[in-house]
Chain A
Amino acid sequence: MAGTVTQPRRRSPAPRNLTEPLPVRVGLTLIALAFLVLFLLVPLAAVFSEALARGWQAYLDAVREPMALAALRLTLLTAGIAVPLNLVFGLAAAWCIAKFDFPGKSALTTLIDLPFAVSPVIAGMIFILLFGRNSPLGPWLAAHDLKIVFAVPGLVLATVFVTFPFVARELIPVMEAAGTEEEEAARVLGAGGWQTFFRVTLPSVKWGVLYGVILCNARAMGEFGAVSVVSGHIRGKTNTLPLHVEILYNEYQFQAAFAVASLLAFLALVTLAAKGLVEWRSSRAGAAADAAGPGEKAA
């Protein structure tokens, strides 16, 4: 599923009789690279090339334009609310699912994955059904002058919904793998609940937490379908960066659209780099623990 921490095991090259002939290996490698270049690298290059099509000055003008800056602020705000909320939820969910046994555990895990199965368009629509003008809550909200859809709260809700599973689903397997012995030892030695959590559990799963937060943040900042439905596209008010890209593009301001899009593409590249770094660090930490493991048992 979307971005599970997979740590590639180092694999020594297979002996000659156990691998394909050289032409086959080269051929397969070339096919794989051609496919990835065509479908990943060329579109990425197109974003930056179109963004700079009219030079650096036009690029900077498009990026520094007030509406683009307003969109950037709104994107940071929605991600700044959605990511911490889902982080707290992810920690709580992982603690109760990974550390305890109770009936209905697998059903709960499935329900947590539910938003991954929902189309972004539907994710946005349900908040219009819930809070929109024709909804049961609509008249009450209007009477109290509360705007949720076509306003910032709706954007935040839709973003929270689509990024809901990210931290939890990264953390649950990591916490399950860590087991409960260390926490039990901490308790027996007199540590309090929160103390156990902050001093024992959190340090051992910190890479999993970081990994989940990185993925959650990337989706929160880049979400398009769900926020497009609830936004109402009011410039400077309810336009996040991806929505701003859409508006510029539909107004045939291609260079400006790609300039703003290049910011998001850059964010994607930073996300990939951070993800790679976390995978590398956590696999090193895992290898160090493996190396220390047998010695501890012997002692």
Chain B
Amino acid sequence: MAFRFKQHSVLPGFRLTFGFTLFYLTLVVLLPLSTLFFRSSSLGPAGFWAAVSSPRVVASYQLTFGTSLAGALVNAVFGLVVAWVLVRYRFPGHRLVDALVDLPFALPTAVAGIALTTLYAENGWLGRPLSAAGIKVAFTPLGITVALTFIGLPFVVRTLQPVLESLDPEVEEAAASLGATRLQTFARVILPALLPAWITGFALAFARALGEYGSVVFIAGNMPMKTEITPLIVITKLEQYDYAGAAAISAVTLVASFLILLAINRLQAWSTRLTAD
């Protein structure tokens, strides 16, 4: 370690904790993840391209991307309403409802998957009335969207809540005293302040949905070209011992999620600049 690598401090333990952190991070995360790129590079450029662009794989990208986007959009709309209601209004059971929002984080995805499948199957509580109305949910892309909506629900609510709470009431008072209607205050004053957090929550829900497996695999039906998500293709390839192919598709997915997370980081930097001004 370079002399004066860190700023001087009277506190001990920097070498120990920094060394352990790096060691553990490398052993548990970086080393295993790097095998992904080693293994997929063994295919060579042509083989890599063939593995990640076969029609069945491309169909799965489209499905995964489309349903994740739809789920994240549903969450963006209703998550804003839920966050707004939880922060601004009081009603009986308020605290209980607030705690319940985290259920998708706490409930194992496999449990969510079988519960949603049973609910939306043709003889299920919700599937029966829906299929009477001619809407099939289970084993269709719509079912995948339902599962991804469940999984992404807390992200939008939990990113919006602290921002809504920290909004200065004086700004709204000023808008009202200058003659703005409530709707104008919302659209011109509140919404712009919420925008970075809103987009961040949406992006987090979207990124989570792209890689989701447990809650989707039961309700999807898993028909190639129709309802087969990308993580399932990876598992199928692994079961056929096509490790390089599985690694190549995973590398593409991983790069996609990194780009989204990078965008989120830029967004958050932008929003801190906004609030600092």
Show the binding face of A for B, using Cβ within 8 Å: 1-4, 6, 8-9, 11, 13-14, 17-21, 25, 28-29, 31-33, 35-36, 39-44, 46-47, 50, 89, 92-93, 95-97, 99-103, 108, 110-115, 117-122, 125-130, 132, 134-135, 157, 160-161, 164, 180, 183-184, 187-188, 193, 196-197, 215, 218, 221-225, 228-229, 241-243, 245-246, 249, 254, 257-258, 261, 264-265, 267-269, 271-273, 275-276
Contact = CB atoms under 8 A, between A and B. Distances in A.
Interface in B10-35: 10-14, 16-18, 20-22, 24-25, 28-33, 35
B108 A264 contact: yes
Interface stretch (B51-59, B94-102, B132-140): B94-102
B204 interface: yes
Given A36-B100, A135-B35, A272-B100, 20 more contacts: A1-B204, A35-B81, A93-B25, A102-B7, A117-B257, A119-B254, A121-B231, A122-B253, A122-B254, A125-B234, A126-B36, A128-B238, A129-B39, A218-B106, A228-B235, A229-B238, A242-B108, A242-B111, A242-B214, A276-B99
Nearest to B211: A119
Interface string B242-277: 010011001001100110010001000000000000
A111 B84 CA distance: 33
A164 B25 CA distance: 9
A206 to B, nearest CB: 18
B115 A46 contact: yes
Interface in B74-122: 78, 81-82, 84-91, 95, 97-112, 114-116, 118-119
Interface string B181-224: 01000000000000000000000100100111110001000000
A96 B234 contact: no
B150 A43 contact: yes
A207 to B, nearest CB: 16
Contacts of A32: 78, 81-82, 84-86
Nearest to B166: A9
Given A2-B105, A29-B85, A126-B36, A119 B10 contact: no
A118 B254 contact: yes
A82 B57 CA distance: 34
Interface residues of B, number: 99
Helix, strand, loop or mixed for chain B's interface?
helix
B17 A95 contact: yes
Query: Nearest 10 CB-CB pairs, A to B?
Result: A119-B211, A222-B108, A224-B214, A193-B12, A225-B213, A102-B6, A96-B17, A268-B106, A121-B231, A43-B115
A148 to B, nearest CB: 12
Contacts of B89: 25, 28-29
B30 A111 contact: yes
B268 to A, nearest CB: 10
Nearest to A108: B21
Contacts of B162: 6
A224 B125 contact: no
Contact of B13 (A11, A95, A102): A95
A193 B11 CA distance: 7
13 contacts: A33-B97, A41-B100, A44-B115, A96-B21, A100-B7, A119-B210, A121-B235, A126-B36, A196-B11, A218-B106, A249-B218, A268-B107, A268-B108
Given A43-B116, A46-B119, A102-B6, A272 B32 contact: no
Contacts, number: 298
B50 interface: no
Contacts of A97: 21
A117 B261 contact: yes
A261 B115 contact: yes
Nearest to B93: A33
Contacts of B44: none
A103 B25 CA distance: 17
B21 A93 contact: yes
Nearest to B35: A129
A100 B247 contact: no
Contact of A126 (B32, B116, B241): B32
Nearest to A246: B110
Given A43-B115, A125-B238, A187-B10, A242 B103 contact: no
Nearest to B82: A32
A254 B115 CA distance: 10
A93 B23 CA distance: 11
Nearest to B34: A126
Nearest to B111: A261
Contacts of A33: 85, 97
B243 A129 contact: yes
B246 to A, nearest CB: 6
A183 B11 CA distance: 7
Given A92-B21, A129-B36, A245-B114, A229 B28 contact: no
Contacts of B166: 9
B43 to A, nearest CB: 13
A249 to B, nearest CB: 5
